[in-house]
Structure 1
Amino acid sequence: MHVPPTSYVAAFDTLRQATRSRTTCRLVVFVACLDVDALCGAKILAGILKREMVPHRVSPVTGYAELRARCTELDDDVSTIVMIGCGALVDLSTYLEDEQREDEGEDEEEDEEELERRRMKQRRKIYVFDSHRPWNLQNLFGSENIVCFDDGDVGDGLLEAERQAFQTLLELGPDESSDEEEGSDEEDKDSDDEQEIEDETQESNDTAEAENSSPSSKRKSPSSPRSPSPSARRQKSVKQLRQEVEDVVGAYYSKGAMFSTPVASQVYTLLSFLGDTSIHDLWLSIVGTTALDRHAPQLYRRLFPLLRDEVARLNPHTNLKLSADDNTLITQPDYRIFLLRHWTLYDALIHSPYVSARLELWTDDGKKRLHHMLAKMGVPLTVARERWTHADMVLKRELRSRLQSVAEGYNIGNVVRTGVTRKFGFRGAVTAGDAVEAVAALLESGRGQTAIDKENVNPDKTEEDEKENVGTQEWVDNFWCGWDALDDVELLLHGIDRARMIQKAVVRTGSALLDKDAVKQLRPFRLAMLRDGPDLEIFSNPVTLTRLATWVSECKSEQTDKQSALVIGALDSKRDTYTIVGLPARVRPRNRTEDEDEEDEEEDDEEVLRNSFGIAFQQVAQETNARVKIDCFESSVVEIKRDDLTGFLEGMSMVDIR
């Protein structure tokens, strides 16, 4: 079932009443551990539950397989599950029930107590906050134990055709046209014909007397030509109806994956209805929403005016005098320049995906254009290479106007926009965009135990120990590091340092791919594969690889008018696999003024990016029998064995990617 925003409070009251306990924990919150938006949403929800004195446990998960295993291992006392950043794409009732059935197959002889325990698990209530689309229609319309927090699409009737088609499929029941029925079609047809003849004869005899006075009435005999039997017509109409509604449902799923309202924004909406908002929760909502700006900019532009109004409501009077406990939020000009306030202006421009793509800064000519632009702005290179915190105050005040004066000439008309900044007393201020980069870097690399700073690696650690720590456990540890950073500004600033190091690796690797012309244009998409290099190890993380793919895709889209999807893969030598990410063709946005940044919603709808690589990966994996692992909450991420890569890519080259 689905819950519209106006019913969020009623759904939460049901959750609260079912999970309040003084002795046991009845509520478990599963969170996608590589998602900044999910992390912020879980942080807001944890605060709500703590204030309501609801015992709960937060459990980060890396993929659907781990989610399934964790659900199976839950205690019998757990009556409610909340999924944040996951759960929308799969049929949860069937997916989790299959795991229970597998366990039942191992122990066929069970006592009544064990059977009752399994029935209790099947009656668990599951609440889903997820921004991934498309919804699995079974979760929305087919199960009362699964509660999906709708962002308004279902309530506004945007899925009405899909709802009617799905309800029709439920009424029709399972398709009985199996192979066994095909084998007995002839016998069924003969018996149906005989039965139909008898029925028609009896019907004619019963109505003959009543219709005898009518000259047009003609009595049918068994030997007279017959029209198709009602049962045959009925069977044909049922098959046709089933095919029509299946086409509607299939078309809905085949549109591709996309993002909807961020999870942090949904949970903050619940908090607003509860009347318990705070500056810190609003900050978390803004960070979670900003995290989707890279993948779904139209969502950010649509939601930012609402967040800006909320900032003005909770901070009616901005205190210009700095104090140690000043944690206010302010809206002010922001820049699409990577970590400007924590770097030099020159390095921030070089490593900015937006500026780098439009000036082609990975080339010598691009760097000359950058020098020429800085000269037009009146910024010497010596000043541009100074730490921004030590830069001249005149430059800081006039940067906005200087950038706008040269923006159109260098095709960076969107470089200036409005953003939100949070003050942290005397320790400085951080913009929402910088906070996203910091938290994402901590989720990718933690506090520093990665390949980008090998001096921190324990020399006593053996190769076997390293293999054991590769993968999910490391990502879970990084999740808690990011969780703490949302409350600890010092850790957040450390995350900014990590973000700079990761972005350097991304720009180094991406520049090498473009310089060597290693991004090949295939028929349906562009392809780039990483097999060696000094930074290869960090790209085994799908979030870091997606960051590289976004940088390369944006650069290639500015090089040519032909917009094409991108598939990029990186070798993980420790596991002998390739991690592959697929991104759809980018939509080149028009240059907007600062006042237009949140307008033109109709045009934003046309800019929605749908990613069909998840469907293509599954199709090609089945056709080629490749050993793949499609387990990430992002459907466009797949892990494949090294030996199966060639056949898999050949199969992908034959698929039509929209």
Structure 2
Amino acid sequence: MFIEDIRNDFYNILLGNRVLLLVHYDVDAICACKILQGLFKCDNISYTLVPVGGISELKTAYEENNEEIKYVVLINCGGTIDLVDILQPDEEVVFFVLDSHKPTDICNVYSDGQVRLVYKDDEENIPNFDDIFRDEEDDENEESGSGREGLEALVERRRARKEWEERRHTLMFNYTQFSYYGKPSACVLIELSALASRLSQAALWAAAVAAEAHAALYVRSPARCLLDAEALHRYVAAARRHDDSTANRTACVVMEKDAWLPLYREWTLEAALSHAAMLAPKLKLYARSGSSRLRQLLADMGFPLQQARQAYRSMDVELRRSLLTALETAAPKHKLPVPTKATFILQRPHMSPLAALDAVYVIMALIEHETLPKAEGFQLALAALEVSGENEAWRKGSAAARRCLQAVASLVHATLSARKLLLAGPFSYFIVQDGTPEASVVRGPLWLGEAARWAAGGAARPLLASAATDPHTSILLGLPPRFEQEPRNLFGAAFEQAATKSGVTVSLDNVDTSVITLPTSQRAQFLDALTALLA
């Protein structure tokens, strides 16, 4: 069931109780967790925090931590599965689900109160209860009646039941055929913070990073991203006016036009341009003439190569001030999208500003760090969201993010230049060869997805990407066509059907249904079945 009042029907119920907080490994979930931790700290709510990576981890985390727990909060996990059926909880346990993964499981929607959904997205076209669920007593009484009239009534009931089942199948197919993302969970919780009079710059910054993540990773259309952040814009503007009136000198979140380049303040301008998801695919840097295109772009911007290749903070001050104007002037000459946009910036006294886009890549790099355990990376990602200043977690994440971006660029360039982006009828695909230097970076869905978006370049054809997670298992994810404008994904349902037809042992454990794992030895067989299914 959906709750109507997020403060009274959700947060106030948690006051004075111990809470089990289950959080998925993604940028939005970590930002939402940061906001919720701030609220819990203000109101002295004790909680147990457990990060989870998939449905099996969710089940294990609940079984290991449910003792004397009455309230469970799930962030970006649990919404797309039948929680009661999978977790088998006691009747008094209540689950509060805030999950941006869609569509929501229909059993959660029509739960009698044990599963309570914190937010309903406008895009969810949920079927009516009577069209999905049927009273079992009607079926039990189907055989009643005798004589001709009873027989006719029986035939009519069976005909009506068959029509109902066919209609139900059609409605459920239409409801579940696409997977997609709803409003960022952190943007929902920032409204709760405002209602609870607990709005802070830390909460605003976390919500800003989550909103930027949905835009940067193309999980929401541009129009939807603007609507999702509408309340956040208002809160940021109000906080800015308050800070200006009180001459506050602490860190504050502002909305400003900025270059849409990853980590350029901590990198060189040339490197940032080379690894910008918006520009790199369009510049075709994998081709022999790619480097000359980049140099020509810098020349048209009026930036000497010597300046572009040194640390941004060491560049000439006048060049730094003219960066946005130079980008806006030079980009159209090269038929590039204008790499500037209004974005969220964290301004801090006596320190360089932080861009929300940079925080997105830092958190991704910490979540899927090459050497750190996932739980440790999760805690570092939470620490990297601190607004007080650059801490060790941010520095470690920033260095890791630059390495990841370099690995993704190297992988995509090698794939495209060697023509390893293969065509399989209705879709294209590429496979990251195990043992390559980049394989250890893209073994998770976040960075493999980033590589897939670079390789696709906004093409009108769906794309699959696969990489090994261990010596015997591989991850496979699907990217819809024209994902920049319409990110709804059909691969979740297609993967499930292909697995059934091919007999391949596929794990559908990921909360995002467009990501699966399967035995590497059966990958070719599965791709053949998927090709036949989508042809």
TM-score by length of 1: 0.76
With over 3 angstroms needed to count, the CA separation of the structure-2 counterparts of 1:340 and 1:75, relative to structure 1, is closer
**Aligned AA (2:299):** A
1:480-559 superposed matches below 5 A? 480-487=379-386, 489-490=390-391, 491-532=393-434, 533-554=436-457, 557=458
Q: Give the match for residue 598 of structure 1.
A: none
Q: Give the match for residue 75 of structure 2.
A: 84
| Partner Cα separation in structure 2 for residue 566 and residue 648 of structure 1 | 15
| Partner Cα separation in structure 1 for residue 422 and residue 138 of structure 2 | 45
Secondary structure at 1:417 match in 2: strand
1:102-181 superposed matches below 5 A? 121-153=90-122, 159=125, 162-164=126-128, 166-173=129-136
Q: Give the match for residue 595 of structure 1.
A: none
With over 3 angstroms needed to count, the CA separation of the structure-2 counterparts of 1:152 and 1:253, relative to structure 1, is closer
Residues 329 and 421 in structure 1, CA contact (< 8 A), matched pair in contact too: yes
Q: Does 1:396 align with 2:357?
A: no
Residues 141 and 163 in structure 1, CA contact (< 8 A), matched pair in contact too: no
Q: Give the match for residue 569 of structure 1.
A: 466
- Aligned alpha-carbon RMSD (Å): 2.6
Secondary structure at 1:536 match in 2: coil
Secondary structure at 1:331 match in 2: strand
| Partner Cα separation in structure 2 for residue 502 and residue 152 of structure 1 | 33
Residues 37 and 264 in structure 1, CA contact (< 8 A), matched pair in contact too: yes
Structure 1: runs of 5+ lacking an equivalent: 101-120, 201-227, 451-473, 589-606
Q: Does 1:638 align with 2:534?
A: no
Q: Give the match for residue 525 of structure 2.
A: 647
| Partner Cα separation in structure 2 for residue 638 and residue 13 of structure 1 | 34
Q: Give the match for residue 461 of structure 1.
A: none
**Aligned AA (2:430):** A
Residues 36 and 440 in structure 1, CA contact (< 8 A), matched pair in contact too: yes
Q: Give the match for residue 267 of structure 1.
A: 189
Report deviation, 1:174. 9.0
Of 13, 16, 21, 2:14 maps to: 16
**Aligned AA (2:194):** S
| Partner Cα separation in structure 1 for residue 171 and residue 132 of structure 2 | 11
**Aligned AA (2:173):** G
Report deviation, 1:175. 10
1:378-417 superposed matches below 5 A? 378-417=302-341
Q: Give the match for residue 172 of structure 2.
A: 249
Of 5, 12, 23, 1:31 maps to: 23
With over 3 angstroms needed to count, the CA separation of the structure-2 counterparts of 1:62 and 1:13, relative to structure 1, is closer
| Partner Cα separation in structure 1 for residue 66 and residue 167 of structure 2 | 43
With over 3 angstroms needed to count, the CA separation of the structure-2 counterparts of 1:369 and 1:275, relative to structure 1, is same
Q: Give the match for residue 419 of structure 1.
A: 343
With over 3 angstroms needed to count, the CA separation of the structure-2 counterparts of 1:139 and 1:503, relative to structure 1, is same
| Partner Cα separation in structure 2 for residue 478 and residue 173 of structure 1 | 49
| Partner Cα separation in structure 1 for residue 376 and residue 256 of structure 2 | 34
**Aligned AA (1:608):** E
Residues 187 and 229 in structure 2, CA contact (< 8 A), matched pair in contact too: no
| Partner Cα separation in structure 1 for residue 11 and residue 394 of structure 2 | 34
Q: Does 1:289 align with 2:200?
A: no
Q: Does 1:308 align with 2:233?
A: yes
Deviations 1:227-267 (A, max 9, x none): x712321321232123213311221111x111110010011
**Aligned AA (2:460):** Q
Q: Which protein has the larger Cα radius of gyration, Structure 1 or Structure 2?
A: 1
Structure 2: runs of 5+ lacking an equivalent: none
| Partner Cα separation in structure 1 for residue 317 and residue 515 of structure 2 | 45
Residues 151 and 266 in structure 1, CA contact (< 8 A), matched pair in contact too: no
With over 3 angstroms needed to count, the CA separation of the structure-2 counterparts of 1:297 and 1:243, relative to structure 1, is closer
Report deviation, 1:371. 1.5
| Partner Cα separation in structure 2 for residue 64 and residue 425 of structure 1 | 43
Residues 62 and 475 in structure 1, CA contact (< 8 A), matched pair in contact too: no
The number of residue pairs the alignment matches comes to 528
Deviations 1:150-191 (A, max 9, x none): 24528xxx63xx342x334324349969xxx9xxx9xx7xx9
Report deviation, 1:63. 0.8
1:185-204 superposed matches below 5 A? 195-197=146-148
Secondary structure at 2:464 match in 1: strand
Secondary structure at 2:532 match in 1: coil
